[in-house]
Amino acid sequence: MNGVTRTAESVLTSLRPPAERTGMSTVCVCDDSPLARESLRRAVATLPGVARVTAAASGEEVISRYPTERPDLILMDVRMPGLGGVESLRRLVSMHPEASVLMLTLAEDADGVARAVAAGARGYLRKDATREELVAIVGQSLSRTVVRSDPTARVRPAGDGLPPSLTERELQVLAGMSRGRSNSEIGRELYLSEDTVKTHARRLFRKRGAADRAQAVAVGFRWGMVR
């Protein structure tokens, strides 16, 4: 993966309760690109606490091999031909709820990230993550320690469990984000200035306790506000 040494923000969103894990761990890297797969496999193999790294070329391969190999962590590309990363994740965790999966994603793939988080991924890792970010995020995921809290846990009211109340404009902006639209593109669709779109975005982030687009869209999918 050529971008693995470039600086980028990588976020781990924990969706399952922490559990203690000791000893050396096994990681499986799933990506349909041979070059990206091998590059990431080599990078992960050098991380502290990782004893072995296997590789798979498709989600179907991960599903078929999981019962016998049972890796401690799976890094799975969101966008792959065939079954696809999100559907592969959904099927895997439905059969093996203990499976721990981080999705590999490109920048601005809010839709893919949100669907993966809603389907049961522990979180996501940008493909252009630095080695320092790989060390932190893979290590934290293997130890089941929360790096950034589940956004839904912060916005779900403890009493009635109702979703956060968004205005019509905020819902429209969220829908645009879920389709991968930029702020300027959303503004053109809604006949709003880009600054106005940013204002609505900041408000809905605050209401949802989200730090970025991916978290906001993920919560939207969880609440059924976007499809």
Would you state the pLDDT for residue 96?
93
121 CB neighbour count, 10 Å cutoff:
27
**Could you tell me the pTM of the whole model?**
0.60
Cα separation, 136 vs 169, in Å, equals: 37
Q: Which of 128, 85, 110 is nearest to 214 (CA)?
A: 110
pLDDT of res. 222: 67
- First CA to last CA distance, the chain: 31
Closest by CA to 77, choosing from 130, 52, 41, is 41
Asked whether the beta carbons of 43 and 68 are under 8 A apart, the reply is no
The token duo for 191 is: 């006949």
CB 26 within 8 A of CB 43: no
Mean pLDDT of the chain: 76
109 against 72, higher pLDDT? 72
User: Structural domains in the chain?
Assistant: 2-148 (3.40.50.2300), 154-223 (1.10.10.10)
pLDDT exceeds cutoff 70 at 34: yes
pLDDT bin (cut points 50, 70, 90) of residue 8 is: very low
**Residue 98 token pair:** 């203990």
* pLDDT greater at residue 89 or residue 129: 89
Six token digits for residue 140: 């934290």
